[in-house]
Structure 1
Amino acid sequence: MYSYCTLFDSNYLTRGLAMYESLKHHSDNFHLYIFAFDDKSHVLLKKLDLKYCTVISLREFENEKLLAIKPSRTKGEYCWTCTPSTIKYTLEKYNLESCIYLDADLYFFSNPDVLIKEMNDKSVLITEHRYTPKYDQTKTSGKYCVQFMSFKNNDEGMKVLNWWVDACIDWCYARFENGKFGDQKYLDDWMTRFECVHELQNLGGGVAPWNVQQYDLSDENFKLVFYHFHNFKRLENNKVDLGSYKLNKSDFEILYKPYVRHLEKITQFLKTIDGENDYNGIVKNTPLQWKDPIRFALKKLKGEWNIFNKQYFLRED
């Protein structure tokens, strides 16, 4: 059985549940440890009593070191800071052989076991951004993406993980500084710093808005494992923001239409349980055309202005 962990708060809850349900759809041999990063998400997740999940509250998870630096980090920075610590907690608390970390905004289209098996005798698995050249942010955001990572609970795996835990507690901020950025650029030299790290080769793992331009998802020979719905937002007035990368028609049909529909299904279900709250993290519309009209015009010309009415994805064909 594969053990996974993830973290999210109430603003990411529908996305986290969509990720879990997509994983359940393609794999029945797993257990997911969810770190609920606020009381609102913890209460609801416990109420849902998900079959293949263990829900962990901040009060259970946080230690003295994390609590000491928490006031110095923003909410997002603190989540990044905690990422390696959640993996370490899961491995040690539940005495697991290994643990795979998942970002809450991943969505599975096939069984991820093919990615995990690729590790063979290595103890750590990391995934590249594989940026499309025009979107290359390697210098500032890193070569690798903290999205799908596996650590074995052995001496080699724990050596890497403990190094990362300490590094993130020492410095983890949402800015590029002295070769560092968040929890992510620490991974840049792991292939040379440590001998036990494997770089994922399967192109179906790690497809994301910054690299999807390189792939033909409609090609039956391309096996998509997961897509990273980076920067997906629910906006006011029933709009969705897909981010500022160029997407084509097949991306909308294969990726975003089923995802938006799934999120809507989860949203409607949650309303039957807790109609008082919304778990989509709806943000205010801040149209780029008003803030930066020149940049907006350029993005629109390039097909990189991706705000749509939600009904565009929900309507029947």
Structure 2
Amino acid sequence: MTDLICCTIVTPSHISKAVTLLESLKIHNEQFKLVILVTEPISFHLDSIEVIELKDFVSINESAALTKSTYQFNFDALRWSLKPVLLSHLLNRQKEAFVIYCDCDMYFLSNPAKLISGLKRGGIVLTPHWRPLEPSPSIHNFRLNFQDGLFNAGCIAVNKKGLAALSWWSRSCLSGCEIDRANGLFHDQRYLDLMLIYFPNTVVCRDLGYNVADWNHQTRYEWLSKKKNLHISLIHFSANTVKKILAGKDPMLEPFYKEYTSHLNQTLNKLITSNVINYGLPNKLEKA
């Protein structure tokens, strides 16, 4: 049976969100092994999750060491550029595994069957933003297709057939990982657009219920206006997504946000009880 792994990368302040993300997946599929890469020293233990500290990771992985050296003073670029490095490491450690990377502010509402089935057909699965196809009514949101990229880098699924794509993505991130729209850059994300062209094992997850967030707000409601069902499997509670929910502008996601914040509060209490040790944590643990 294929090993299933889900991983994320965080600073210590976001451990609570990382644990909540991974536990939400475990609720729907107990087979997943869970991994967190933490970019600063931290001390805590949960039986169900493997915690890797960056200082240990760079000592055994040359690509991780190079990435840290390149972005040691840019913590956001460091985390984002480490995604393909961590994914490659986990695949090299377990050759036959299916590995999913998720940003820590995501939440599973069902077993990620579409991501798994995508890996059975290819080597790397990308999740589209599903921004508007038409320039009207929002020319701004339409043009973001061409500024921020077609795919969201917050959710990537890979197997060993995707190792070449991961290696290329890692090298690309080292050439630049910032917002520079004039030169075609949006952090680690714009690079993903080329995968469909140069890496034939690339698969697009065409289920609108994955990576649900503010960027596909218009598309989701247009879909529902046509009386089509939408089964939400994975939500990305980005800052703008939460802002829209709290403003009452995305009622579709309100009940799921309540579920998420309840789970996150439980995680916070558990981490405080387990005495997380790092630079004043757990008092600085990130909340919803």
TM-score scaled by structure 1? 0.75
Is structure 2 residue 140 aligned with structure 1 residue 142? no
Distance 1:174 1:39, change over 3 A: farther
CA deviation profile, 1:86-121 (whole Å, cap 9, x unmatched): 111111134443322111111011110233213433
Kindly report the root-mean-square deviation, in angstroms, between the aligned alpha carbons of the 2 structures: 2.5
Partner of 1:131: 131
The question of 1:257 aligning with 2:254 is answered no
Cα 1:279–1:143 shift into 2, 3 Å? same
On the 8 A contact 1:90/1:96 being kept in 2, the answer is no
Question: Using the alignment, how far apart are the partners of 2:120 and 2:89 within structure 1?
Answer: 24
Offset from partner CA, 1:60-93 (integer Å, 9 cap, x none): 222331232123x511111111111111111113
User: Quick check: 1:123–1:152 contact (8 Å CA) kept in 2?
Assistant: yes
Change (3 A) 1:69 1:195: same
Match of 2:199 among 187, 194, 215: 194
Aligned to 2:98: 98
- Given candidates 43, 53, 58, the residue that maps to 2:54 is 58
Tell me the distance in 2 between the aligned counterparts of 1:37 and 1:96.
27
Question: Which residue in 2 is equivalent to 1:117?
Answer: 117
Instruction: Indicate conservation of the 8 Å contact 1:205/1:226, yes or no.
Output: yes
Shift in Å at residue 273 of structure 1?
Answer: 2.6
Structure 1 counterpart of 2:214: 209
Correspondence for 2:22: 20
Any conservation in 1 of the 2:119–2:159 contact (CA below 8 Å)?
no
**What is the match of residue 169 of structure 1?**
174
The one-letter code sitting in structure 1 at the alignment partner of 2:150 is: K
Distance across 2 between alignment mates of 1:177 and 1:162: 25
Q: Among residues 220, 226, 236, which one is paired with 1:228 in the alignment?
A: 236
Inter-partner Cα distance in structure 2 for 1:223 and 1:48: 31
CA distance in 1, matches of 2:17, 2:96: 26
Equivalent position SS for 1:243: helix
User: Where does residue 33 of structure 2 map in the other structure?
Assistant: 31
Q: Deviations over 1:239-285 (max 9, x none)?
A: xx923577333422x22111112112222222223386235336xxx
Aligned-residue sequence identity (percent) comes to 25
Which structure: larger Rg?
1
Q: Secondary structure at the match of 1:48?
A: coil
Cα distance in 2 for residues equivalent to 1:242 and 1:118: 29
Query: Corresponding residue for 1:153?
Result: 160
Cα separation, partners in 2 of 1:244 and 1:223, compared to 1, 3 Å: closer
Which structure has more relative contact order (CA 8 Å, sep 6+)? It is 2
Structure-2 separation of matches of 1:170 and 1:248: 37
Distance 1:269 1:166, change over 3 A: same
Question: CA separation in 2, counterparts of 1:126 and 1:91?
Answer: 17
Whole-Å separation in 1 of the counterparts to 2:36 and 2:27: 18
Q: Deviations over 1:20-59 (max 9, x none)?
A: 111011111111221112213xx12xx223x2x2211102
Residue type at the aligned position of 1:48: L
Deviation at 1:220, TM superposition (A): 9.7
**Aligned residue runs from structure 1 range 68-79, under 5 A:** 68-71=69-72, 73-79=73-79
The one-letter code of the counterpart of 1:25 is I
User: Matches of 1:150 and 1:158 in 2, distance apart?
Assistant: 11
1:301 aligned residue: none
When normalised by structure 2's length, the TM-score is 0.82
